[in-house]
Amino acid sequence: MRDTSREFLLGPLLKGVSRSFYLTLRVLPARMRDPVGLAYLLARAADTIADTALIAPERRLALLLSLREQVNGVNGGAASMPDFAAEVASRQEQSDERILLESLAHALAALAQLEPADRSAVRQIVSTLTAGMEFDLRTFPDERAGHIVALRELEDLDRYTYLVAGCVGEFWTRMAAAHMPGAIGEVDGMLRRGVRFGKALQMTNVLRDCGKDLRIGRCYLPETMLESEGLRPQDLLRPDASARARALMFELVRNTLEHFEQALAYTLAIPARFVRLRLACLWPVLIGMETLRLLVRNHSWLEPGRSSRLPRRQVYRILAYSVPMVLSNGLLRAWFGRQLRDIEAVIG
């Protein structure tokens, strides 16, 4: 594949399909950019397939499994790449998503050109992430079915957050250890923290997007926790649902904060001389904590039009303020500590 194709994939196309990850990728050390960026694009393509509501869930599942086979170098998938692209891309309203799906052959060619260890790592992470998407498609009903299915236990939610995000922390750690000697230190401990890092970010997404997910039949709030509050999944669509489920949300935020404390520890364990890697880890921690600050103050958190999403200008402000602080563990702990205290003041 020509360099111009790779540059398009990891430049304009990645920027088009990612709101914030592109910013993180730009500050990553050069050796990590290609495998990490390519893994993101392949996972984003798989996620687009899994979320294309105009295609029946069973067909989406077949296409998702076919893409996984293509990523893993198996040529006997259920659909050839050209037919696959045409079938899914034609149903995308956003042009960047269409271009991504139409560019899958180029992305797979770029994957084939990675160093063997990087290629294996990308295949592993995409396989795990698509297992999480498969879990969604097998667990929840068709978006138009008109009923809600909830996860049963907190352990189910924990497993789900590993499949769709915790595994990314492992992948990130292995990439940094492979390409940046001295950045990671004690790898086993950082792998465990990396899993918690990913879970923190995914739990934030689950809570922020809960209202929207409920409207397509997906309830990630465990049934056992709902039952303890006298609630059923369908009760979460009622006008008073945000108030009735507020204590449950607070409990899950407490769990999420424990994950974020490990995410901060992960970031501060990276030696200060690896400024770019530190920033790439620091930004999602600070943005995630700010999102939780909005969430715990949001009395309409289950209403789709009132989700706790940071304005773009606030994201950029966090990025700007973090740069002069990134070398100081003390300043970063103080910033995180203020965020933590603000949240705990609300949730008790």
Angstrom distance (rounded) from CA 12 to CA 106 = 14
Read off φ and ψ for residue 206, nearest 5 degrees.
Answer: -60, -45
Beta strands, E only, the chain? 149-150, 218-219
Residue 19 confidence class, pLDDT cut points 50, 70, 90: low
* Residue 174 confidence (pLDDT): 95
The residue among 109 and 159 whose pLDDT is bigger is: 159
Residue 92 confidence class, pLDDT cut points 50, 70, 90: low
CB atoms within 10 A of CB 63: 22
Angstrom distance (rounded) from CA 242 to CA 249 = 9
Residue 13 confidence class, pLDDT cut points 50, 70, 90: confident
- Amino acid in the structure at residue 186: E
Residue 30 confidence class, pLDDT cut points 50, 70, 90: confident
Q: Which two tokens stand for residue 82?
A: 């050209």
* Residue 119 confidence (pLDDT): 96
Domains and CATH numbers, the chain: 1-114 (no CATH), 140-348 (1.10.600.10)
- Exposure string over 73-112, b if 16+ CB within 10 A, otherwise e: eeeebebeeeebbebbbeebeeebbbbbbbbbebbbebbe
- pLDDT, tens only, 180-224: 999 999 999 999 999 999 999 999 999 999 999 999 999 999 999
Percentage above 90 pLDDT, the chain: 74
* Residue 137 confidence (pLDDT): 96
* Residue 105 confidence (pLDDT): 87
Angstrom distance (rounded) from CA 298 to CA 269 = 33
pTM for this structure? 0.91
Mean pLDDT, to the nearest integer, of 276-298? 96
Please, are residues 208 and 295 in contact by the beta-carbon 8 Å criterion? yes
* Residue 86 confidence (pLDDT): 66
* Residue 74 confidence (pLDDT): 80
Residue 179: is its pLDDT beyond 80?
A: yes
- pLDDT, tens only, 219-259: 999 999 999 999 999 999 999 999 999 999 999 999 999 99
Burial class (CB in 10 A: 0-12, 13-18, 19+), 149: middle
The residue among 53 and 199 whose pLDDT is bigger is: 199
The residue among 94 and 264 whose pLDDT is bigger is: 264
Angle, helices 187-208/275-297, rounded to nearest 10 degrees: 30
- Amino acid in the structure at residue 59: R
